[in-house]
Amino acid sequence: MELDLTPPTSDQRQVLEAGLSAEERRVLLAHGTEAPFCGIFLDNKRSGTYCCRLCGLPLYDAATKFDSGTGWPSFFAAVNPRHVGRLRDDSHGMLRTELTCARCGSHLGHVFPDGPPPSHERHCLNSVCLQFVDAGQPLPDPLARGDRLPA
């Protein structure tokens, strides 16, 4: 799945951010972390696509989700590697790789090298950073770009 990765304009971003709750702002915009074992998508078993809560970019297919036992939704691969950015994160006295939405730059979580095959990666995400679209339903298009493909 290849979509337009052009970042939202300042006006679009302002509108998108205005729709966020305080907790969504803290995690998505200020690189926070939600408490473990409380996220809405931790136990979600439905088929579909996990998209960025802010800009709607499709990030992960439910088929790549697995139970890591960590308390956060975990995936072994993105829908498209270009949709998820990776940044060095040396906060909290440790070196990690932060995951961000490649279109809007929102914080998603972190990636660790202890996942299942074939990637052996664990993309550990905050539920609050995601929106879920059931299989067969149209993907969100908050930027009204008309670039959404069926899931």
- Residue 129's CATH number: 2.170.150.20
Q: Is position 87 within any domain? A: yes
| 119, part of any domain | yes
Confirm whether 150 is domain-assigned. Answer: no
Please give the pLDDT value at position 26: 97
- Active site positions, annotated: 124
Classify residue 1: in a domain, yes or no. no
Threshold 0.85, pTM exceeds: yes
Counting residues of the chain whose pLDDT is more than 90, the rounded percentage is: 83
Domain carrying residue 71: 10-134
Q: Specify if 147 maps to a domain.
A: no
The yes-or-no verdict on residue 147 having pLDDT over 70 is: no
pLDDT band, residue 21 (cuts 50/70/90): very high
Query: Quick check: is 141 in a domain?
Result: no
Which residues share a beta bridge with 84? 101
Give yes or no for residue 149 having a pLDDT over 50. no
Q: What would the pLDDT profile of 62-111 be if each residue is shown by its tens digit?
A: 999 999 999 999 999 999 999 999 988 777 677 789 999 999 999 999 99
The domain tally of the chain equals 1
